[in-house]
A and B are shown apart, each in its own frame.
Chain A
């Protein structure tokens, strides 16, 4: 797919999200959460290119969310809190990454999972600081100095999420086509060859890991600002699994995949939960099985195949 076509699709997507959020106000919250998760999934996609699956990226989502929750009373400015939280997650990503990039495949995945569960336990047990499973309510924050409330506050976070999604989408798209991104894909097929060409493969994976942690941090900060309440559940392994689920659902073929997957996932969840309250997980599970069996390229791959067939006909 040509770069311009992808950018056009992304801009159309932004427009569609704004229109839906305007037409159906209660979906604004759902769409913001979807975009926030999409950002985290974009990081999962980056690691998938190297053939590695992290089952613990909720760690970085939750870390950034708690950074926002703790700092909000001291620094009540959205436009400062978000970069601070993202930077915090990136630094944590660097620290964790130094250990996990030494491992591959199932060991990489499980070590990530283990570390995220350690963080979950810390959040849950240190009640005096974190308020345990009760979580922390977010103090009111300002947006560019303005104290926004209600709908305006919701819109400000949604637009921020859209801007970040678009920005990181373009960034990751360029990065994947660069030598660094291509070497990352080389880790999947011939890591030793990279070393014999003079490329430090672990460092390539580490930089992707830090970038993925940073994006997950942006997602976590957005989630905190939207839900205005953070709990340890953000770091629980099911939250990490959800990110991998969305990555597979959306497809790893394009940077649009994660956002497509996240929007489909959140919207299905909302409507399925309303229609069949007891069985919505089963519906999602069935959808995932169908995607794995019949559309390994995910929703993005399905859409592309349909488009190609129509053009050929």
Chain B
């Protein structure tokens, strides 16, 4: 089976910091791939490279067999790769509904110059999507009048509205209240599975990773240190020590008194 997204030999350094130092990674159609790793390891950089925001110094990225490096973000999203952001990027002076409608409009373009944005078909679609994320009651709120968790969800919902084949999410659960986290991820996973979207997500919450990822890639110092199913990867002693921050003694139940 050929991969949906395939990165080969990606290299990118910021000064002396190697964010990617020979990354080979293939994302298979239909899977949920989690990327974990310490802060500053280069996880977000990978998303930025795959969406055309950053250009690696070496390497190649193909999407459905087509080379996408060098294409600007707006061309790449049209090929079917959408992203959400670690810091939600809503249009702050628009309502949540208008934000969603803009995403739908962006997908549907080209635009006639005089037909309204909030036309019935787009409004209905936006409301249905907001409803599936539990955001319908906030539809008329302005983008800058939401709490962090809702903003995060709306940001992801906008990316989903683009109907991508592949969705790249940068820390989808950061900022979401701990009590709501599992419900949010549950919802998100259901929506994505229903629409057959492949997802890559950067995540720090190992419980989320363990429950929703089909595979986990561990990013460290610009390299992929481990890759495989969550049970195996999360049990790896080196990963536990370097990424999750649990000492082997603790894991083995011999915590010092």
Contacts and interface: CB of A to CB of B under 8 A. Distances in A.
Contact of B116 (A171, A178, A197, A200): A178
A137 interface: no
Interface in A139-181: 171, 174-175, 177-181
Given A196-B51, A198-B109, A199-B106, A190 B116 contact: no
B51 A189 contact: no
Contacts of A174: 114, 116
Contacts of A194: 74, 106
A25 interface: no
A268 interface: no
A198 B114 contact: no
Given A171-B114, A182-B117, A186-B94, A198 B107 contact: yes
Contacts of B74: 194-200
Overall SS of chain B's interface? loop
A178 B90 contact: no
A197 B103 CA distance: 6
Nearest to A173: B114
B208 to A, nearest CB: 24
A185 B105 CA distance: 14
Contacts of B162: 197-198
B92 interface: yes
Contacts of B143: 189
B204 interface: no
Contacts of A195: 72-74
Contact of B89 (A179, A183, A192): A192
B117 A178 contact: yes
Contact of A196 (B73, B98, B105, B116): B73
B233 interface: no
B117 A188 contact: no
Interface residues of A, number: 25
Interface in B62-120: 72-75, 77-78, 82-83, 89-94, 98, 101-103, 105-107, 109, 111-118
A268 B115 CA distance: 38
A193 interface: yes
Contact of A177 (B72, B106, B117, B158): B117
Interface in A56-89: none
B60 to A, nearest CB: 22
A189 B91 CA distance: 6
A178 B94 contact: no
Most buried by B among A188, A197, A199: A197
A196 B106 CA distance: 10
Contact of B115 (A171, A178, A183, A197): A178
Given A182-B102, A189-B94, A189-B143, 20 more contacts: A174-B114, A177-B117, A178-B117, A183-B102, A188-B93, A189-B91, A190-B90, A190-B91, A193-B89, A194-B74, A196-B53, A196-B77, A197-B77, A197-B102, A197-B106, A197-B107, A197-B162, A198-B109, A198-B162, A200-B74
Interface of A: 171, 174-175, 177-183, 185-186, 188-190, 192-200, 207
Pairs A-B, 10 closest by C-beta atoms: A179-B105, A197-B106, A193-B89, A198-B77, A174-B114, A179-B111, A182-B117, A186-B91, A189-B92, A195-B73
